[in-house]
Amino acid sequence: MKLLLRTSPDSKGRKSYTFFHSSVSKAVETCFLSDYAKRMAYVIRLADYYEFTCTDPETVTAELPLLLQQCKLYDRLVKFLRKDERGISLPPHIRYKYLKELRCTMPCSDGFMRQPLLICNFCAMRTGAFGQMFQNGNSCVICGQVVMAMGKEGFLCQRHYRFGVSDCFICKAMVFQTPRPKQGVLCHMCGILPRCAALNV
């Protein structure tokens, strides 16, 4: 194999191995990765390595989200982007890039069955539910970006709310109208389309 490999330093001076020609890479891919199930098994092994073994946070944030997306481990992807310090360090527009693919596609504009996305007062005052340092009540419920202006109120479609019952979007506890709960908001990026604010994970 050594004759087929080329080494070059990466941005941190570490050795990076690649095939010396794209035809070799294509042959290896055809031979070992043409079967979808086998390919996904390798992708999952790579994702496990970056998430649980790799010690370089920059490499993890560069590689792991895409791998989790490729092998459709969406629950792990959301947890990484919102709960893992390495994922939280990503800028909101990068988190948005991955999370928008998981967002429910049901419309929630006027005239459609919808319910306001409510956050109880206790959760609204806390931070970190969406991978952010700001209060949950003032943060986009998709990407976590703080909503200062141009925000939109968040709604849930009939698939993502219980008819006749109001639940806190974060803790799932029943929400009462007194004291008045906070309605979750969407930032200018996530609020462009009037869609349900829930994620399909």
Predicted structure pTM score = 0.86
The confidence score (pLDDT) of residue 133 equals 86
The confidence score (pLDDT) of residue 33 equals 87
Could you tell me which of 99, 106, 98 has the C-alpha nearest to residue 195?
Answer: 106
Q: Does residue 132 register a pLDDT over 90?
A: no
pLDDT in tens, 97-120: 999 999 999 999 999 999 999 999
pLDDT in tens, 155-196: 999 999 988 888 999 999 999 888 889 999 999 989 998 999
Q: Work out the mean pLDDT of the chain and round it to a whole number.
A: 92
Give the confidence band of 122 by pLDDT, cuts at 50, 70, 90.
very high
Residues with Cβ within 8 Å of residue 83, at least 6 apart in sequence = 128, 131
pLDDT in tens, 46-62: 999 999 999 999 999 99
Give the confidence band of 86 by pLDDT, cuts at 50, 70, 90.
very high
